[in-house]
């Protein structure tokens, strides 16, 4: 299926009630399972990934299929490693290409009994009852690995007989995601210390408490992009917390470059459009990689030169997001290119430049690469002209109501064939 998107004007007026954060929801579900006592979780994400997490945690099946959900697969790997019995954890063909060795090696050091069923270092996994799990309580992990590995280990840490000392070796990526995990653990009664590069979690028990999931800042980014492209904007996004535990909450600051103002009410932010757009934008996306695609499209749509760094994890997401951005931006005469190392300000960082102003004509067709964020990041370009989005159903992974919400703001969203 392909959707055709357009908007008869560049006015953005209305209210959007955003879904709960998928990242927070999935962590809350793992903590709920580890707690052993029931507690209420309000505003749980309706995303496919979160629904899948719920289903798999409640399932007695021997084979658990995490599909394309990377967070679900990684969190469940650690969770199942603490449980009795033998289960197989698998996923899509793309999931079978995403490395899992670092997490499996760490869990094995703690006493987990895990075997690879196909290619060494990759899913699917067979996870058996642990052997003296947690007798060893010290791990050294490369700090530049996926935060999902680290969060998975931290969440099971208090259930281990000796807790866990997690040493982060090298330069840390995605610190906000670790802080999110640790703040949620603290809410449920599990403290920690973080001294230099060592996080220590003592053994203990999660305490059951009612919990409200804040709305998803990654989802909010698409509306910020629309606001940036608008001539007139009076849009209210409901459910966001101003004092957020999500790294993507920096959106309010970064979008000032593009003339988007954020005015706060109680768990609501009102977006307005100010005159003037700055010609240059620079940002390190290491703490907030999930909004990099959106900002690349914003820069292209407005003809702003963008200098991006911190994109190291984008190549191992649902797709190679850097290659996908390069392919799709080129369709509107915008180019994403890696700067030669000699131009880098820091020798240990990669820098990418977004150049060109989008020319949206002839109803360009954007491929989504089985990646929900590609579909939603490119959708705001419909404010500049008619576009087409292939396989639009991929948004179910994180934001099932996205297309209906766009219709509510006056977008025309119709099947192209």
Q: Of 186, 187, 208, which Cα lies nearest the Cα of 199?
A: 186
Convert 256-289 to b/e letters by CB count within 10 Å (16 or more is b).
ebbbbebeeeeebbebbbeeebeeebebebbbbb
Q: Cα dihedral angle (183, 188, 191, 195), rounded to 10 degrees?
A: -20
Check the CA dihedral 76-78-79-84 and report its sign: positive
Contacts for 402 with CB less than 8 Å, ≥ 6 apart? 219, 222, 375, 376, 379, 395
Cα(325)–Cα(254) distance, integer angstroms: 20
Cα(257)–Cα(252) distance, integer angstroms: 10
Cα distances (Å, whole numbers) of residue 164 to 130, 153, 193, 309, 318: 16, 9, 11, 32, 30
Is the CB of residue 106 less than 8 Å from the CB of residue 153? yes
- 290 assigned to active site: yes
How many alpha carbons lie under 13 Å from residue 90 in its C-beta half-sphere?
11
Cα(315)–Cα(144) distance, integer angstroms: 14
**Active-site choice (65, 290, 371, 405):** 290
Length of the chain equals 417
Is the CB of residue 294 less than 8 Å from the CB of residue 221? yes
Residue numbers annotated as active site: 290
């Amino acid at each position: 299926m392909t959707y055709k998107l357009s908007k008869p004007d560049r006015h953005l007026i209305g209210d959007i009630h955003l879904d709960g954060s998928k990242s927070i929801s999935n962590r809350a579900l793992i903590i709920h399972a580890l707690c052993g006592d029931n507690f209420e979780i309000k505003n749980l994400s309706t995303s496919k990934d979160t629904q899948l997490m719920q289903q798999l945690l409640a399932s007695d099946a021997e084979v658990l299929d995490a599909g394309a959900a990377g967070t679900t697969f990684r969190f469940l790997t650690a969770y199942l490693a603490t449980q009795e019995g033998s289960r197989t954890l698998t996923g899509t063909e793309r999931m079978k290409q995403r490395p899992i060795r670092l997490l499996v090696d760490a869990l094995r050091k703690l006493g987990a009994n895990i075997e690879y069923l196909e290619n060494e270092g990759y899913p699917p996994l067979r996870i058996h009852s642990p052997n003296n799990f947690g007798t060893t309580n010290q791990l050294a992990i490369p700090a530049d690995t996926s935060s999902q590995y680290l969060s998975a280990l931290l969440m099971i840490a208090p259930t281990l007989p000796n807790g866990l000392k997690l040493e982060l070796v090298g330069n840390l990526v995605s610190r906000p995601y670790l802080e999110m995990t640790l703040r949620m653990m603290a809410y449920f009664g599990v403290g920690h210390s973080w001294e230099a590069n060592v996080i220590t979690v003592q053994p203990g028990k999660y305490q059951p408490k009612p919990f409200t999931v804040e709305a998803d800042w990654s989802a909010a980014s698409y509306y910020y992009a629309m606001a940036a492209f608008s001539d007139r904007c009076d849009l209210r996004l409901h459910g966001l917390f101003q004092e957020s535990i999500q790294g993507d909450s920096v959106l309010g600051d970064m979008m000032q470059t593009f003339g988007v103002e954020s005015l706060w009410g109680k768990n609501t932010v009102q977006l307005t459009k100010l005159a003037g757009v700055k010609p240059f934008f620079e940002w390190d996306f290491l703490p907030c990689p999930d909004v990099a695609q959106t900002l690349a499209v914003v820069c292209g749509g407005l003809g702003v030169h963008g200098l991006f760094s911190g994109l190291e994890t984008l190549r191992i997401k649902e797709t190679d997001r850097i290659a996908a951005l390069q392919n799709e931006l080129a369709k509107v005469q915008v180019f994403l290119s890696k700067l030669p190392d000699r131009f880098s300000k820091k020798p240990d960082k990669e820098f990418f430049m977004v150049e060109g102003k989008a020319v949206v004509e002839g109803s360009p067709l954007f491929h989504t690469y089985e990646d929900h964020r590609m579909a939603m990041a490119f959708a705001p370009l419909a404010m500049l002209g008619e576009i087409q989005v292939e396989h639009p159903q991929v948004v179910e992974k994180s934001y099932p109501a996205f297309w209906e919400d766009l219709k509510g703001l006056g977008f025309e969203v119709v099947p192209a064939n």
